[in-house]
Amino acid sequence: MRTNQVDIVSRVVLATFEGFLKYHEFKQIAENSLALVQETGYSKILVDTSKIKVIQKESQEWINNEWFPKAVNAGVTHMAFLIPQDYFGKVSVESTNKHMAQRGDIEIQYFTDEKSARRWLRSKTQLA
């Protein structure tokens, strides 16, 4: 399974998180997605968390305290999350992003299907 990819047609970075990830595994996927943002200059990320079980507290804190500020500085403006059907996974994903969603530096939306997520990201074109 590839955890990080670039969709050059849609100009979106794709990140996939599956299962119960240990802190270092979670961090590596997130860091790789940010590296692709910096490499491509893309401002949108499609995050597939549909098969994640739960996000560890340590990973949640790292995302909020370190990754999100770096993402804002790198120019990330929009993130679409494919959320898990599993209740605990869904709550875990939403609570991890809650602070950034409230701040509004990065616009975050949640979806149950990839087609809707991609449609929303396409609607968020950057004005030059």
CATH H-level, domain 4-122: superfamily: STAS domain (3.30.750.24)
Give the pLDDT confidence of 76-91 residue by residue, as tens digits: 999 999 999 888 888 8
Evaluate if residue 95 carries a pLDDT over 90: no
Evaluate if residue 127 carries a pLDDT over 70: no
Residue 16: closest CA among 75, 82, 110, 105: 82
Contact 18, 55 (CB under 8 A): no
Assigned token pair, 123: 């609607």
Evaluate if residue 54 carries a pLDDT over 90: no
Alpha-carbon distance 107 to 124, whole Å? 10
Give the pLDDT confidence of 32-42 residue by residue, as tens digits: 999 999 999 99
Q: Which helix (H) or strand (E) holds 72?
A: helix 68-74
Q: Give me the residue spans of the domains in the chain.
A: 4-122
What average pLDDT score do residues 14-40 get?
Answer: 94
Alpha-carbon distance 34 to 74, whole Å? 8
Give the per-residue pLDDT at 2.
65
